[in-house]
Amino acid sequence: MSSTNPVPDLEAGIQYWATQPANYDGVLGGFGTGSLPRVDSLGSRRFLLDLLPELSTVPSPFRSVSVSPSETRRIRALDVGAGVGRVTSDVLLPLVSDVVLLEPVESFINEARSRGKASESGLEINDSGYRVLWKGIADRSKSVTFFKGSLQSFDPVEPGIPLDRVGCLPQDGDDDTKSKFDVIWCQWCLGHLNDDELVQFLERSKKALRDARSLIVVKENICREQNAIFDEQDSTFTRSDLAFKNIFRDAGLKIIQEKIQHGLPEGLYPVKMYALRETSHALQ
Ligand code: SAH
């Protein structure tokens, strides 16, 4: 791509989102109240459970009754470009123990925080049709830690100082903010990065994966054109399947599962989920 072609601009992207309402409709471009949030989050949970069946909270007849300590360890996920915490609340908290949430836009992270706080106090204020109480927060069995920042500057290995945390606290004052992740979830936000920034973010994320089963999940709109389409309104790229695949390869990541999200309203870009592992670990 020649240097004269437009590329995403960090500030322009943040400015765009700051004009949008801090709710599901805002982060989903007006699709917050129809079937999309439910179809999307069920598709995401199913995708994740197929890859990591051990995250299932439903007892399996095939699993042994005696549970070893390694099976009971806390599962950690990172939700980047998290908006108002939709993926945290509807996909990740139902399946994992601790979520770290990254979002740069003030009004969005404030909304996510206040939903987390409301969950902590057990207040169900269901005025907008989505589940208000975040799973495991009122009984403090799970946690969400909030970081304000952009993907361009965030390092999942060294996340810095959190803004806040709700739910359970690390045991014995232990600091778990530098612990690695079992799942890093990137949804509808990677278009804000140019190709170099995206490769670098994925390389940093790869170093923050806990072990050989850990995953990076990318769930994004896909264009049918050769490479990418630039959208001036929010200063983003919509990339093609091939463009994503080239970027994953450059970041040293291997695709272990890819799937189209079916059931979304017509007229939208196709949405695709990719599960990625470090190339040397992609044994499955
Ligand atoms: N992933 C969420 C939100 C999608 S909306 C969901 O699926 O519900 C896109 C989000 O990306 C917004 O919250 C926006 O503020 C955030 N964003 C924009 N630029 C970003 C950047 N440079 N780094 C991280 N997040 C960014």
Distance (Å) from CA 106 to ligand 1 centroid: 11
Total of domains in the chain: 1
CA of 50 to the centre of ligand 1 (A): 26
Instruction: Give the integer Cα–Cα distance in Å for 147 and 35.
Output: 29
Best CA proximity match to 136, nearest among 169, 173, 97 = 97
Is position 202 annotated in a ligand binding site? no
Give residue-wise pLDDT tens across range 49-86: 999 999 987 776 666 555 555 557 899 999 999 999 99
**CATH code of the domain covering residue 215:** 3.40.50.150
Residue 184 domain flag: yes
218-257, pLDDT tens digit by residue? 999 999 988 999 999 999 999 999 999 999 999 999 999 9
pLDDT confidence of residue 1: 47
4 in a structural domain: no
Please give all residues whose beta carbon lies within 6 A of any atom in ligand 1, as ranges. Answer: 10, 13-14, 17, 27, 81-83, 86-87, 103-105, 108, 150-152, 187-189, 192
In a domain, residue 60? The reply is no
- Is residue 3 domain-resident? no
Distance 57 CA to ligand 1 centre (A): 29
| Residue 134 to residue 143: CA distance in whole angstroms | 10
Residue 6 CB burial class (10 angstroms; 0-12, 13-18, ≥19): exposed
Q: Whose CA is nearest to atom 16 of ligand 1?
A: 81
| pLDDT classification of 2: cutoffs 50, 70, 90 | very low
Residue 40 included in any domain: yes
Q: How far apart are CA 44 and CA 241, in angstroms?
A: 18
Give the residue numbers spanning the domain of 134. Answer: 10-54+73-278
Residue with CA closest to ligand 1 atom 3: 83
Q: Which residues, listed in sequence order, are joined to residue 209 by a DSSP beta bridge?
A: 181
**Could you read off the pLDDT of 95-153 as tens digits, one per residue?**
999 999 999 999 999 999 999 999 998 876 665 545 479 999 999 999 999 999 999 99
Is 86 part of any known ligand binding site?
yes
Please check whether residue 104 lies inside any domain of the structure: yes
239 labeled part of a ligand binding site: no
At 173 the pLDDT is: 64
Q: Tell me, what's the pLDDT at 62?
A: 65
